[in-house]
Chains A and B, each alone.
Chain A
Amino acid sequence: MDNLLEAAQRAVKAAMDAGAEFADAYCSQVREVSVGVENTSLRECEVVRDYGIGVRAFFQGGMGLASAQSLEYDDAVECGQRAAELSRAADADPDFVGLPEPAEPPEVGELFDDALAGLAVTEVVEWCRQGIEESRAIEPEVRLEGGADLAVGGSALASSTGIALQRRGTSVNINFYALLTRDEDVGTYFEYDAARQLADFVPGGVAAKATEEARRYLGGRNVATKRLPIVLGPLAASGLLFSVIGDANAEHVQRNRSFLGGKEGQRIASELLTITECPLVAGGLSSMAYDGEGVPKVRRELIEDGVLTTYLHNSYTANKAGVANTAHASRGGYRGSVGIGTANLQVALGSRTEAELISELDEGLYVTYGGIQPEGASGDISATVDFGFKIENGQFAYPVSTTMIGSDALEMLGNIDAVSSDYREEPGIIVPSLRIVGIQVAGGE
């Protein structure tokens, strides 16, 4: 770990020595073991050791970004110098004020697990082998693909304002996609589990769930075109909600390319909807003590009783708007620039179960999964229900096929008439189901 911070600091110094007015550098290294399953058989194992450095340098606000897949002294220095040179070629940006000052980040526990870090490849292989076995026990003719990944790594962040931070982490995930064929009919489904700690990880049952669910999607049919109440299951709900939260990106708003422009402090959703960012949950999948620029993270409501409480800021957008930095800077690894993103999101629960919400519908559409995400500028939604069911007389009638939803983000959020009390949970992340009334469904006649 020490060499990561040293490399970052060397690069920052090199950038400043080359004429930058501000600079920061991010270094990371990861060892990732992946086991692949294909055609209901183990197929491959790979081990990837990836490491590198990314440097941002600023000159009169113009930004230069340079990266390299190395942590060697000379490469770190060259990277810093290259970033500084690029910053001088960029146009001045009077909205750039500076990089954040150092601040003590909070403690976030259980993001690194010695048990995971020391796990043998054979254990990862065994999870996959068991997945194949449990899937075949349910459907001997199943076609199963997927696999498991185990990652152990660390990162360091240094800046010309004196930030010097480092962290390490572990993560593990398993995912399976099951495919069943009956004559010309096909049923498919996927399932996954992910964790930062071995104790939170439950690989057993993931392949079985994918296989059992694939059975339910045999015999898909088209739905008639009409307005219907729809129920978004947790996966579909997270797709919609997390995408809308992403559109609260202050840079998109400031650049006039978000449909949430002018909506800060206003109601954008039913008062039943509250979404809280919980970055400090021990062992959370997206937990973090500080953001991509080293600013301490805090728990905060992003949508409270339907009101968009804040835009998501990094240091640049906060300074430009003259508001407090909300610590939402994100980094896409050492090769990426600094953008805006969130940590774990948790959606407040309602009082009745998903089954109760469905039982109240004479006719409706249940969306297990689909690309229900608004177009960022217009907020328009036009999406296929990739996995879903027609609801008739309060229960699932049949799986749907070539069925679409046409709406916009504010209509969908505003028409939420119930949030379920049961939910899907990944470490740190909680998403219930949503019932939304009066949504245009497109299908057949």
Chain B
Amino acid sequence: MERLMERIIQAALDQGADFADLRITDAAATAISVEDGRADRISSARTRGAGLRVLVDGAWGFAPTNQPDEAEMLRCVGDAIEMARSAAPYVTDPGMVAEIEPAHGEVGKPPRIRPDSVSLQDRVRRVFELERAARSSAAEKIANTTASYADGSGEMFLANSFGTFLRYEGTGTSIGVQVVATDGETRQRAVQRRANRTGYELVADLDIEALGKETAEKAVNLLTAERAPAGTFDVIIDQRICGLLVHEAFGHNSEADAVWIGDSILAGKLGEKVAAETITIVDDATLPGLNGSFEYDHEGVPAQRHVIVENGILKEYLHSLETAARFGVKPGGSARAQGHQDQPIVRMSNTAIEPGETSLEDMMAEMDEGLYLTGGYWGYVFTGQGQFTCNVEHAYAIEKGKLGTHYRNVCISGLTLETLQKVTAVGNDQEFELGGTCGKGGQGMPVDAGGPHLRISQVVVGGQSGG
């Protein structure tokens, strides 16, 4: 394989490329869906191909193929060079790459339990157990239950014109459950999911009964929750929403590709205060056992720990080979690609706010009124404006330091830098709660995010009542 890939890279250089890299992937995935007591959908997908990227006269060219044989990949060389040359005359901000030491070797360890070592029937049975656990909890209120499972495993080879040749082996597993509860005209949904870059041990070790029951209880509890209030409130957010906030609101702004083009509120702010002094934000792909962990990124750069913000001061951005060259820094090992049809772009890994010293109890006791916000599925940000939106699964009124009225799911919005300056307490209870997939540029990538409880003043809550 190494010789084959060297020949393709050399062909690209011979045709005028200043830099070239080639990824060859071969992966298989299985998905199982159990709904309302029946495992009625089982699927399996095979993906295989190669993606060749070249830099010619400051322009990037990219040509993937689903047929990674030598003849087809040589055709891709011609295509990619032609594509780059088509753009090159009009490039005013030339592409570049930072030089790296070539890397060689095997990346990734086999999982403890390979998913394909477990029979399909056993995997189906486990998903069914999760769905049944959810369905049988508060059964009279449960309208629909869906449990889903997916595993994927495969290998990827990377070669580039610096002489890198790496073989990556990877496995990912996820399992989740969705419950819809009803009471008359009211329907409420709760969702929980676990995902990690591990094997079937994620599922085998999981307390299926507890996950199903807890999800069903959340859905049922939402039936009697009131519509959330609208307006600006002092809030306490839990670890999951802290993860959403640090990933969506802040993290995407720290990706150097956005910074370079000015589409980030952090552009030009290195060394400046961007958050309260109590805030330290770290993106760390080297943490063991998390969904965003890896050993080498997809440009052949070792994974690293990045302290993006230290005590409120912006310290660094996340870099690819290209952005590292543009900013004149060492490559950060933060470039990843979803598949062979995608180019590597700057991505977060495991991103979190570091823990502080305040307990949730103390944080709450100091509040006369406000909201406690917990859980959340999604969020998004417009990085240029720095305006974010985060989903919240449950909200509770805080009245004289105690939890009060329970509210339905709602969203919060704010300006990232304002919000991080308004953090008035940082909890001592950091957790990573958000193992999942981050979407950027049309590519999904496994990430994790988290943090401790945070107390923040004056956050906009988009509820339905109050004005």
- List A residues at the B interface (Cβ < 8 Å): 33, 35-36, 38-52, 61-70, 82, 86-87, 89-93, 121-122, 125, 128-129, 132, 143, 145, 177, 179, 181, 186, 188, 220, 222, 225-227, 255-259, 261, 335, 337, 371, 375-384, 386, 401-408, 440-445
Contact = CB atoms under 8 A, between A and B. Distances in A.
Nearest to B465: A440
Contacts of A39: 93, 260-262
B462 A255 contact: no
Interface of B: 35-36, 38-49, 59-67, 79-80, 82-84, 86-87, 90-93, 95, 120-121, 124, 143-144, 146, 178, 180, 182, 186-189, 227-228, 230-232, 260-263, 265, 341, 343, 380, 382, 384-387, 389, 408-411, 413-415, 460-467
Contacts of B48: 69-70
Closest 3 CB pairs of A and B: A404-B462, A45-B83, A44-B60
A68 B49 CA distance: 11
A93 to B, nearest CB: 5
Nearest to A89: B120
Contacts, number: 271
27 contacts: A35-B86, A41-B92, A42-B91, A43-B91, A43-B95, A44-B60, A46-B60, A46-B64, A48-B64, A49-B64, A65-B44, A70-B66, A89-B121, A143-B263, A225-B232, A255-B36, A255-B180, A337-B41, A380-B227, A401-B415, A402-B414, A404-B462, A406-B230, A440-B464, A442-B232, A442-B462, A444-B232
Given A143-B261, A378-B187, A70 B67 contact: yes
Given A64-B42, A404-B411, 10 more contacts: A44-B95, A63-B40, A68-B46, A337-B43, A380-B409, A382-B409, A386-B387, A404-B230, A442-B462, A444-B460
B384 A179 contact: yes
Contacts of B389: 371, 383-384
User: Which of B66, B86, B91 has the largest number of chain A CB atoms within 10 A?
Assistant: B86
A49 B180 contact: no
Contacts of A143: 261-263, 384
A29 to B, nearest CB: 10
B232 A445 contact: yes
B439 to A, nearest CB: 14
A52 B59 CA distance: 30
A424 B178 CA distance: 37
A69 B189 contact: no
B59 A44 contact: yes
A402 B84 contact: no
A145 B260 CA distance: 12
A37 to B, nearest CB: 9
Contacts of B460: 222, 402-404, 442-444
Contacts of A444: 231-232, 460
User: Which of A45, A383, A401 has the largest number of chain B CB atoms within 10 A?
Assistant: A45
Contact of A69 (B49, B186, B265): B49
Contacts of B92: 40-42
Contacts of B46: 66-69
A256 B95 contact: no
Nearest to B326: A39
A44 B67 CA distance: 23
B154 to A, nearest CB: 12
A122 B93 CA distance: 19
B83 A47 contact: yes
B85 to A, nearest CB: 9
Contacts of A441: 230, 467
Contacts of A69: 46-49, 66
B83 to A, nearest CB: 4
B260 A384 contact: no
A256 B341 contact: no
Contact of A67 (B45, B61, B67): B45
A282 to B, nearest CB: 29
Contact of A442 (B45, B227, B386, B461): B461
B91 A406 contact: no
A405 B189 CA distance: 20
A376 B343 CA distance: 33
A68 B180 CA distance: 34
B156 to A, nearest CB: 15
Contact of A62 (B35, B40, B61, B90): B40
Nearest to B128: A91
User: Which of B36, B91, B146, B467 has the largest number of chain A CB atoms within 10 A?
Assistant: B467
B45 A255 contact: no
Contact of B42 (A33, A65, A256): A65
A36 B62 CA distance: 11
Nearest to A227: B467
A404 B466 CA distance: 13
A256 B343 contact: no
A380 B408 contact: yes
A407 B462 CA distance: 9
Nearest to B262: A143
A31 B237 CA distance: 46
Given A48-B341, A122-B86, A143-B262, A440 B466 contact: yes
A128 B86 CA distance: 12
Contacts of B60: 36, 43-46
Contacts of B45: 66-68, 335
A86 B39 contact: no
Nearest to A222: B460
Given A45-B83, A70-B66, A225-B466, A129 B93 contact: no
A152 B41 CA distance: 32
Contacts of A66: 43-46
Nearest to B223: A378
A412 B38 CA distance: 36
Given A42-B91, A63-B40, A337-B41, A375 B83 contact: no
B414 A42 contact: no
A20 to B, nearest CB: 13
User: Which of A121, A384, A405 has the largest number of chain B CB atoms within 10 A?
Assistant: A384
B230 A129 contact: no
Contacts of A93: 38, 40
Contacts of B178: 257
A42 B65 CA distance: 24
A121 B84 contact: no
User: Which of A42, A89, A407, A443 has the largest number of chain B CB atoms within 10 A?
Assistant: A42
A188 B262 CA distance: 11
Nearest to A144: B261
